[in-house]
Chain A
Amino acid sequence: MGKEKINQYFNNIQANDQHLFVPYIVAGDGENGVQNLPERIQFLQDSGAAAIELGIPFSDPVADGPTIQEGSIRALEQGTTLKKVLDVLAEDKETRTIPIVLMTYVNPIFVFGIERFAAECERVGVDGIIIPDIPLEEEDLIAEALTTHNIAFIRLAALTSTPERLQEIARRSEGFLYAVAVKGTTGVRTSHEDNISTYLTTLKKHASVPVLAGFGVSNPQQAHELGAHCDGVIVGSKIVDLLHQGKKAKVRTLIEESINKQEVGT
């Protein structure tokens, strides 16, 4: 469970010479709300995902662009809460093989109770946590509870971070390191900044865990371009959008074409 599970699952994929691909979905978005999670998780696992980033919807997601904002509103309108998501995850904990990483803004877990949250994550088989509004300066609110329950605390690095901060973020990250690849919010972009390869290379150098690039990544070509400088990608808005439109076959194609290194679009 936790860090070891992410480590092992990633190793198996990388041993097959594949890029790591982590899809993001909003928990509770789509038909039947949170009840569709076991089926969606199974589908993404079968499609070749390395882990699933499960977004806990929040009313005020300042790091997110329009697509994920809208998905969050749809999920909240269906009554999604952190507790309901955890309860559903508990149901198929034993049969699920793919690592589960929760993405949540700090407020829903603060209100839930930090220690209670970490204990619940361990109980229901959550392996890692991403919290976009906890920078280095505020980590002590949650770090100890996550360590106690062996939950990987995945840190986010940014293109605006100073070299010293990048080094510290890379050093601390557990499970994997989330390299935010744009100066902005989540959402589809046609291209990334010129200095992106230097940034990813720097993070690779300092991190003891795999480095995944996310934000603005939406197609296999970008996955391969970025994947050349790190271990893989995280794709959010594009997946949320395709699932919302009911285009599951396209999600599968996107994942398959992104992970296989021989299918580089050259």
Chain B
Amino acid sequence: MTTYTMPDYRGRFGDFGGRFVPELLMPALLELEEAYKEAKKDDSFMEELDYYLKEYVGRETPLYEAKNLAKKLGSGRIFLKREDLNHTGAHKINNSIGQALLAKRMGKKKIVAETGAGQHGVATATVCALLDLECIVFMGELDVERQALNVFRMELLGAEVKSVAQGSGTLKDAVNEALRYWVSNVEDTHYILGSVVGPHPFPKIVRDFQAVIGQETKRQIQVHTGKLPNHIIAAVGGGSNAIGMFHPFIDDEAVKLYGVEAGGLGLASGKHAATLSAGETGVLHGTMTQLLQSESGQIKEAFSISAGLDYPGVGPEHSHLAASKRVTYDSITDEEALEAFQLLSKTEGIIPALESSHAIAYAIKLAKEVPANETIVINLSGRGDKDVQQVKNKLEER
């Protein structure tokens, strides 16, 4: 058995990853890489991180057996990793708290972040309030409109939300502006990137802070079943919840891993965010990865009912895991996600985030194909409270 050690010293996951950034940012990336290396070796840093994860975030999160759902599907045992029960309602805070502590350690007093629907923005604003850091969040103009309540939430937490009018006014443009802000304020500011995207060392750091999801799951499933699961499913936008879940299982080759992308209105429609299923290799936001782009290398807009999956790139490690075939990537349409959203609400009394609903929808399909003695774990990355208004509108449109 080989041991998985990606990325290499250049931040490469096979052919993907790297640091495609202006020279202005290179010293900051090198400083961050060094600070992170030191922090990981420092017991007091890791203890502080553990303290906040336990006492503030509320870890560990349960691995809950969804018996009603399994019965309804006539399938084998299904478990939900309840990241929705974290403080602020999603897995995002695992990374925000880790990076904020790292920023403090580096002596940075200001934090910049991007956000799509607002989950990462809220998580980052929250930890900045906790740790007394100044916080600026860039958010696309369209998302500011669609997620007015999350904007207010961030402001309530003391963050400054900057609306981004450039481009399509969504997550991609918010990342561009956050990068531009960081370029201009790099000496006193740390950029808390919210997913496993961007230049090295971000994909590694974010993955490591999210890997707590998979580490807990590995322990918990053995308590429940006495063995590793057969199938693990997670939704992939940028891919942080999925990598966090998958990473501790990569060397366990018998465990099948599935990353579920947003199929939007269907791959044939061209309106989707299924980067790994329908993208081409390129460079965006500092990393080489699979992208939705035109033949001349211009980045296309992504499309999904779920704002958290609405990104035309994907983490470079996912591109590598797709190329090496260790993880199976597939897509789920808006319609299928909406059905799963309602099904889990009705059967288990758990309203999942629309992002997580993609993973649930895939599990519903998979459950019909695999033997009933096989176990499925689904990463329930966030709760759906933020989505109920949108889902209500969608259902009324029908």
Contacts and interface: CB of A to CB of B under 8 A. Distances in A.
A159 B183 contact: no
Interface in A51-67: 58-63, 65-66
A158 interface: yes
B66 to A, nearest CB: 40
Q: Give chain A's interface residue range (CB within 8 Å of chain B).
A: 35 or more
Given A110-B283, A135-B21, A135-B23, A160 B293 contact: no
Nearest to A111: B297
B187 interface: yes
Given A107-B282, A157-B23, A62 B176 contact: yes
A184 B19 contact: no
Interface in A147-205: 156-162, 165, 169, 180, 183-185
Contact of B20 (A134, A160, A169, A184): A134
B347 interface: no
Which one of B23, B24, B167, B172 has the greatest number of beta carbons of chain A within 10 Å?
B23
B245 to A, nearest CB: 29
A108 B295 CA distance: 9
A132 B284 CA distance: 13
Contacts of B107: none
11 contacts: A58-B297, A59-B167, A60-B299, A62-B21, A108-B298, A133-B20, A138-B18, A158-B22, A161-B27, A169-B23, A185-B184
Given A107-B283, A158-B22, A160-B26, 5 more contacts: A60-B299, A63-B22, A133-B21, A138-B20, A160-B187
B183 A183 contact: yes
B297 A184 contact: no
A221 interface: no
Which one of B20, B25, B284 has the greatest number of beta carbons of chain A within 10 Å?
B20
A83 interface: yes
A260 interface: no
Interface string A46-80: 00000000000011111101100100000010000
A137 B285 contact: no
A119 interface: no
Interface string B159-185: 000000011000010001001100110
A61 B288 CA distance: 16
Contact of B297 (A65, A69, A82): A82
Contact of B296 (A66, A111, A162): A111
A81 interface: yes
Given A106-B283, A165-B27, A62 B19 contact: no
Interface of B: 10, 18-28, 166-167, 172, 176, 179-180, 183-184, 186-187, 280-286, 288, 291, 293, 295-299
A69 B299 CA distance: 14
B23 A165 contact: yes
Contact of B186 (A105, A133, A165, A183): A183
Interface of A: 58-63, 65-66, 69, 76, 81-83, 105-112, 132-138, 156-162, 165, 169, 180, 183-185
A143 to B, nearest CB: 14
B19 A137 contact: yes
A134 B180 CA distance: 16
Given A62-B179, A106-B283, A185-B184, A158 B298 contact: no
B282 to A, nearest CB: 5
B293 A180 contact: no
A158 B24 contact: yes
Contacts of B20: 106, 133-135, 138
Contact of A110 (B25, B180, B186, B282): B282
B29 to A, nearest CB: 9
A82 B283 CA distance: 16
Nearest to A79: B296
